[in-house]
Structure 1
Amino acid sequence: MRTLTAQMSSDGHAWRLYVVVYGEPNWPTFRWDRPGPVPTGAERRRVLAALGYEVAPGAVWSWTEDSRDPDDDSTPVVLIAAVDVREQEGATA
């Protein structure tokens, strides 16, 4: 079964979760219209399921931070989380 990457990001406004599907123009995406709190693991699982995916066995979310301008540490931080996912059992592509 093919493993893909799901990412979740926020620049201090809404949170967005998307599955990176190279070669596809529109990636499966969901948006929480809230700056906080960070979507829980249960919320993320429900959204992934609604998009037809599940966290790959043994995979855990990893977090990193980025910036709109990496050379200027006074710019707002963008938080990015990532996890390996696979299509849900029984999901149709």
Structure 2
Amino acid sequence: MTHSARLAKSCFAGWEIYIVTDSPAPGDWPEHGFDRVSPVPTLAERTVALAALGYEVVDGATWEWHELDDGDTGPVRFLGVLDVRRIPSGDGR
């Protein structure tokens, strides 16, 4: 089963990566904060964060960037999206 990893700059603490799961409550989604506003986390940093959350990149997946805006005069935010899957546990589960 694949899930969507999202990389976004939060309103509070800077960049964060989170995994959108089947849980209807975003507070239940696994997340990792990078505790900085700049620079954007590198691919290597994102891969390490995903592994710490128990996920890996789906073969052939690449980050896609979406522009989010609050209207013509509001600030523009960017959201990175990537397909991921749980890292196999090795115990047959």
Give secondary structure in 1 for the equivalent of 2:4.
strand
Q: 1:46 to 1:59 in 2, by over 3 A?
A: same
Task: Report the RMSD for the aligned CA atoms in angstroms.
Answer: 2.1
Displacement of 1:11 in angstroms is 5.7
Runs (4+) of structure 1 exceeding 3 A deviation are none
CA contact (8 A) 2:23 2:29 kept: no
Distance 1:61 1:84 in 2: 8
Q: How does 1:10-25 map to 2 (within 5 A)?
A: 10=9, 14-23=14-23, 25=25
- The answer to whether the Cα contact below 8 Å between 1:18 and 1:30 also exists between their aligned partners in 2 is yes
1:6–1:19 contact (8 Å) kept in structure 2: yes
Give 1:24 deviation, angstroms. Answer: 5.2
Counterparts in 2 of 1:11 and 1:18: CA distance versus 1, 3 Å:
closer
**Pair 1:37–1:15, CA change in 2 (3 A):** same
CA contact (8 A) 1:52 1:88 kept: yes
Which secondary structure state, in structure 2, belongs to the residue aligned with residue 48 of structure 1?
A: helix
- Runs (5+) with no aligned partner, structure 1: none
Q: Which consecutive residues of structure 2, in runs of 5 or more, have no partner in the other structure?
A: none
State the TM-score, normalized to the length of structure 1.
Answer: 0.84
Identity %: 40
User: What aligned pairs does 1:14-53 form with structure 2 within 5 A after superposition?
Assistant: 14-23=14-23, 25=25, 26-53=28-55
Q: Greater CA deviation, 37-46 or 3-12? A: 3-12
Which of 56, 59, 62 is equivalent to 1:57?
A: 59
